[in-house]
Amino acid sequence: MRLFIAIDVPGEIRERLGAMQDELRQASSSARWTTAESLHVTLKFIGEISETRCQEVDTALVGLAWKPLSVSVRGVGFFPGTGSPRVLWAGLECPTMVGLAGEIDSRLERAGFDKDGRAFRAHLTLARTKDNRLESSLVKAAAQFADTEFGKFTADRVYLYQSTLKPGGPVYTRLKEYPL
């Protein structure tokens, strides 16, 4: 089982982001676009584990105590930057999300899972490259959305998802829900 922990994004925000993706599609032939329906905020990628370990994840997350998060989806950018872009993302403004991701990481580390090696950066992945970098034409086209407000929402739960890789892209199945 390939697992991750995430926050869902409301439909109206996914629709706004999807409309922007549609507008930007023509600017890149190398991008693999995330479908608007599957947009989510990954708090922790766990990776491939057994069903037994899946139960250990659930046990580690039961009783997660955190206040609901106020999230603003605003602007776009690129990882690692515009000089050699590999990922197009939408920005998230929510200072307390870093703490929640850290708490989840700590709980899973105590359960025997690897700690994340990089600092958490809240974002929504909109596209990634099939090649070694996205075209400068996409960087230029995306600049018009640098300060766009896509919406705000309250996240009051996180989910454990299974990711099944298929030729047409990953399929996400919600396995568990953890209220905040």
Q: Which tens digit of pLDDT belongs to each residue from 102-158?
A: 999 999 999 999 998 889 999 999 999 977 899 999 999 999 999 999 999 999 999
CA distance 17 to 160: 23
> Where in the chain are the domains?
2-179
CA distance 140 to 144: 8
Cis omega (within 30 of 0) on the bond before 80? yes
Residue 6 has pLDDT above 80, yes or no: yes
Q: Specify whether domain 2-179 bears CATH 3.40.50.300.
A: no
pLDDT digit string (tens) for 15-33? 999 999 999 999 999 999 9
* pLDDT of res. 81: 93
Cβ-contact 95, 67 below 8 angstroms: no
* pLDDT of res. 21: 98
Cis omega (within 30 of 0) on the bond before 95? no
Using DSSP's 3-state secondary structure scheme, residue 15 falls into helix
Q: Which residues are catalytic?
A: 40, 123
Could you give the C-alpha distances from 4 to 74, 78, 176, in angstroms and in order?
24, 22, 11
* pLDDT of res. 132: 86
C-alpha distance across the termini of the chain, in Å: 25
* pLDDT of res. 147: 96
pLDDT digit string (tens) for 56-101? 999 999 999 999 999 999 999 999 999 999 999 999 999 999 999 9
